[in-house]
Chains A and B, each alone.
Chain A
Amino acid sequence: GQQLNQSPQSMFIQEGEDVSMNCTSSSIFNTWLWYKQDPGEGPVLLIALYKAGELTSNGRLTAQFGITRKDSFLNISASIPSDVGIYFCAGTDQTGANNLFFGTGTRLTVIP
């Protein structure tokens, strides 16, 4: 299946710092989704993007759908301890089959 390259694999940051992570695909995507997963829980949808160039915010989170439609990034501003978790990008390609492909995840640790 489609492989999404997500980076970085892990991040250790100080509380209050900004964070940026990104995801790239080998083919054009129609949708980019960003999720956060806490230990032992299912992923929670943070932001959904549907148009190339679209920039969407959800509180301190901002995500963008890349112009080439093959990439997306997620920024977290002024990180707080509860931002700790694993962030996954996901997307659907152009086949129309609603196949949902996931990145390998970015593990975020926030140091108080």
Chain B
Amino acid sequence: EAEVAQSPRYKITEKSQAVAFWCDPISGHATLYWYRQILGQGLELLVQFQDESVVDDSQLPKDRFSAERLKGVDSTLKIQPAELGDSAMYLCASSRGVRGDTEAFFGQGTRLTVV
């Protein structure tokens, strides 16, 4: 069964260091989302791609976060420099993104701890 792949599963980094997360969506899914979830809280959309284009990055802290999906397939989310408050689960999801088929499927997430 096709699934969204994320790596690494866990990451511990020191504050001020750079960190990167990778996501490989389900094949054929044009829409890709990155969410942040602080422990015990809801999902906060960081960035949404439609193919290789950014559709929504209004909540992305652009002074330290960047995201790309160069070939419209897999995506990388980067944080530089990491801060203590960035400790959270980073979730990637993908969907076909067409009317009548907007079901989004999530990866297992990357748990980031900044020390």
Do residues B42 and A105 form an inter-chain contact, with CB atoms below 8 A? yes
Q: Which residues of A contact B75 (CB under 8 A)?
A: none
In Å, the complex CA distance between A103 and B103 comes to 16
The smallest beta-carbon distance between A7 and chain B, in angstroms, is 13
A51 nearest CB neighbor, chain B only: B100
Do residues A96 and B103 form an inter-chain contact, with CB atoms below 8 A? no
Q: Which residues of B contact A85 (CB under 8 A)?
A: none
Contact count band on B? 20 to 34
**B11-19, B66-74, B77-85, B91-99: which lies at the A interface?**
B91-99
In Å, the complex CA distance between A58 and B108 comes to 22
In Å, the complex CA distance between A32 and B4 comes to 21
Do residues B106 and A98 form an inter-chain contact, with CB atoms below 8 A? no
Contact count band on A? 20 to 34
In Å, the complex CA distance between A31 and B99 comes to 9
Q: Which residues of A contact B42 (CB under 8 A)?
A: 88, 102-105
**Cβ 8 A contact of A99, one of B56, B91, B109:** B56
Do residues B45 and A1 form an inter-chain contact, with CB atoms below 8 A? yes
Per-residue contact bits, chain A 63-86, to B (CB 8 Å; 1 contact, 0 not): 000000000000000000000000
Is A11 part of the binding interface, using a Cβ–Cβ cutoff of 8 Å?
no
B98 nearest CB neighbor, chain A only: A98
Do residues A98 and B45 form an inter-chain contact, with CB atoms below 8 A? no
* Interface positions of A (Cβ within 8 A of B): 1, 30-31, 33, 35, 40-45, 48, 50, 88, 90, 92, 96-100, 102-105
Q: Which 7 A-B pairs have the closest CB atoms?
A: A42-B106, A98-B97, A102-B43, A48-B103, A104-B42, A42-B109, A31-B102
